Each structure stands twice: as structure tokens, then as C-alpha cells.
Structure 1
Amino acid sequence: MKQLLSIVILITSLSCYGQATRQTTHKPNYDSLRIVLEEMVYKDQNIRRILIDSVGLDSPHAGTYIKQMQNIDADNQVKLNVILDKYGWIEQSKIGKKAAEGFFYIVQHSDIALMEKWFPEFKRLASIGEADKTACAMMEDRLLMWKGKKQIYGSQASTFREDKKLAVWPIEDARNVNKRRKEMGFDLTVEQNAARLKAVYNENEQLPTKNK
């Protein structure tokens, strides 16, 4: 009952969108945070599974699910911002790997401002084994792509080409990208990942002119 009460209090506090957050002087209730973060991960990933695997991005009904996804993302971001402001990016040894994924997924699906704010701490934790280094590599690639720069690990694809086909975003030193991917824990080569995404991959791909 005590555990349930603390979870209800935490969820209620995360739902108070208009209230200013305050730094806590109390030790975080990691069990409660774990449950809340795992639920946020489930919502984030479930709507994307439905959209991509069941409905399809090219379906005439995709718009409805994209809107649902955007609403879920917005709600998750508000709640995660409260957690980040109070406790920072929590080490995965304290909340578990699945709950720790919530920090990555929700920040990754937010905007460049939130990513830039928290990426240095994410990278620091990944370097000491307290966050997923593969996920960290993916966020670094996405930040570089959004800034119009070449990515490092080849994890990001976009419809940036004139033919509008999904393609792997240009990679810095593409010849050695698979070595870097292996070091960061990726299971697939860049070629295999491109095939999985049904994306075009060109080792010599250049940045779009408008981003130069």
C-alpha cells in the first residue's frame, strides 16, 4: 500500500504541467520512478510498433496514429522534464536498464534543445557503464544530423535526397564506420541496418547542399 501510494503521488506530481518544479532534498524513490519510467517507455514504443508494423507509414490511416504518437511524446516529455529537473539523468544501476531507456527514448523523440541540454550527461554516464552506449551513439548521430553535419555511426536515415527516398545520412569516415559501430555495441553493420530500414546506403553520400 505504501509503494502504491508513493507511485500515485509521483504520477500526480508529474501531471501538474503548470506548476514550477523544485529541487528535491529527499532521496529519490527509485522503485516508484522505475514503474513510472517503464510505463513511459511502453507508451513510447507501443505506438511506434502499431504505426510502423501494423498500420504502416504509407497507410491513409497513418495520420491518426502519428497524432497519437505526438500526443504521447508531448505528455512523456513534460513528465520526464520534471524527473530530470529534480533528479537529473539517473544511473541505470539505480532504476534498472528498462526504466533507464525512458530517458533515452523520450529525449531522443523530443527536440534539439532538450537533446543538447542532456546529451553531455548521457555521454558521461554511458562512458562509465551507467547508460546504454549504443543508444548514446544514436543520439549523437541524430544531433549531428539535425545540425546538418555528417554522423559518426550511421544510425540515422532520412528522406534528404532529391529523389525523396529514405537514405542513410552521410557518414564521416564511412570506410571505418562498422569498426566504430562494433565498439559502441551495434549488432548490425551499417549495410545490414540500412537493409533493415529499407534505406539506400551510399558510402560516398554527400551532405545536402542546403545544409552546407
Structure 2
Amino acid sequence: MGSDSLRVWSAATGLVLVLFLMLHLGGVVIAPFAPASFETYAASLHHSAWLPFAEFGFLAAALIHLGLSLAKLIVNRRTGNRAGLVSRRGDRFAVLAARSQAIGGLILLGFLVVHVLQLRWPRPPAGEELIALRVLLSQPANLGLYLLSAVAVSLHLFHGGEAAHRSLGLLDPANGFRIRRAFRMLALLVGGGFSVVALLVSASALQMGQ
């Protein structure tokens, strides 16, 4: 597979993962504010016949995205593409986001493994999803991992949204600013949203333990 194909498929799977993150955040964001509604939502979701297929699709997209990203990196190295990143807009945060893609991807992969082992295998009984999450996030190490992963997601989206549209040939001077701004706002929303949920659930666990 050539470098152009790698970029296209990496971008496509990345956008699929963005959609999953938005849907996932939409579900968990109600946990700190309406615990009963969250438990009802979680129980209904986990009894859905289509959920195993959706989970398999997400896992496949995540692994394919990771594999294609590594392959793209190897191809670039072999072809001698070792150019340093320089922001022509003086945007140092954008450079940081671009340079952190590899380490951020590894952090997210590690988090995915831990998250699945904590809350999927085995899955908490119906009505006890939030209890299990509170137990996890009451531990500083787990809370730190969740917050670090939220930062990694934010940086990944900050750079990846624009890069994906460029790889798919959808970025041009006319829409570049709008796409860039939209995905940077999305990066802050998703990363910040997961961070706030983790902190609020952790705080509620500590209050209940007092």
C-alpha cells in the first residue's frame, strides 16, 4: 500500500473514531448530573442486540487506524521524510499537537486496553455502571490515567481533524479556516468533556465515601 493510500485510510478510520467519541461522550456526560437516567441509558444500551457489532467495529477501526499510522510513519522514514515541523502561522500549540501524535496514540491505545478490562470484561451488572465508575475514579492513579487520555484525545483531534481532511482531499483555501476552527473547538469540547465527567464522578465518589 502506497503512502497516499495509507493517508486516506488512516484519515477515514480516524474520522470514524471521532464519531464514536462524540457518541460516547454524549452518553457518559449525563452520569454526574442524572445518575438514574445514566443507569437506565447504560442498561438499555448494553442489552441492545447491535452493540457487540458496534464494539467490534470500533475496535477494528482503532486497530486499523493505529496500524496504518505506524505504516505511514515507516514509509515516511524510508523515503527520507524527516523534515522538522515548523508552523507557518506561528501556532506553537498546533506544532505540539502534531508532534505528540505518536506518543498520544500509544497513550490512547494503553488507555483503551485498561478501560476495556476495567468496565467491559467483566461488565458491571445492570444498575451498577456508575458505581463501578466511581470506584475506579476514586483512585488517583485511575483518575490520572483518564485525565491524561482526555488530553491525548484533545491533542489528537486538534491536529488530526485538519490532517484527515487534507489527506482525503477535502481541504482547500476556501474551507481550510472553517475546518481548522471546527475541529479545534471539537478537540476542546471532547477532551474537556471527558475531563469534566471524570473529575465530577471522582468528586462524587469522594463525597459519598466521607
Q: TM-score band (shorter)? A: 0.3 to 0.5
Higher relative contact order (CA 8 A, sep 6+): 2
**Which structure shows the bigger proportion of residues in helix conformation?**
2
